[in-house]
Structures are given as structure tokens and as C-alpha cells.
Amino acid sequence: MKKVRFRKIVSRIKRNAKRLIHKIQGKQYVHLLHIGKTGGTAVKYALKNHLITDKYVINLHRHKVRLRDLPKNDLVFFLSA
């Protein structure tokens, strides 16, 4: 149990460190919220090799992630049918 908790803490620290580095580099975070039956899987597949650009870092999320789960000043896009 303690090992799993430690891994989660380390994972969170790594994620926050990457986010800080990207912010220092002047990159804006963009989140793709995956809404079921809207082609999100195809878009994720198309974007998988282009997630970091000169200006943006694109985060691809699963179905369970909601708008309220994301940082306030980040950009968000989603697909609708």
C-alpha cells in the first residue's frame, strides 16, 4: 500500500516538474477532452506524434476527465457529433 502511494507521489512530482519546464519555455497547455462517440480516438491517434510544438503541449484525456478537473487558465478543445 505504501509503495503504491509513493509511486503516485513521485508521478505527481514528475508531472508538475514537466509542467513547470514547459511553462518556463513559454508553452501553453491544451487539453483534448474525449467525449464518447465523437471521433476522439481517431483524433488522438492522429495527434500522438505531435503533442509538443513550439507553442503548445497537448494533453489527451480519457472519457472520465471533466472540464472541472483541468487547470483554470489552460486551453481546452473537444469534438461534438
Question: Per the structure, how many domains does the chain have?
Answer: 1
Is a pLDDT exceeding 90 seen at residue 2?
no
Whole-model pTM: value is 0.80
**Residue pLDDT, tens place only, 6-40:** 999 999 999 999 999 999 999 999 999 988 888 88
Q: Which domain holds residue 69?
A: 2-78
Q: Which amino acid makes up residue 25? A: Q
- How far is Cα 39 from Cα 79, in angstroms, rounded to an integer? 7
What is the side-by-side strand order in the sheet with 28-33? Answer: 56-60, 28-33, 75-78
Q: Report which of 29, 38, 34, 32 is spatially closest to residue 64, judged by C-alpha positions.
A: 34
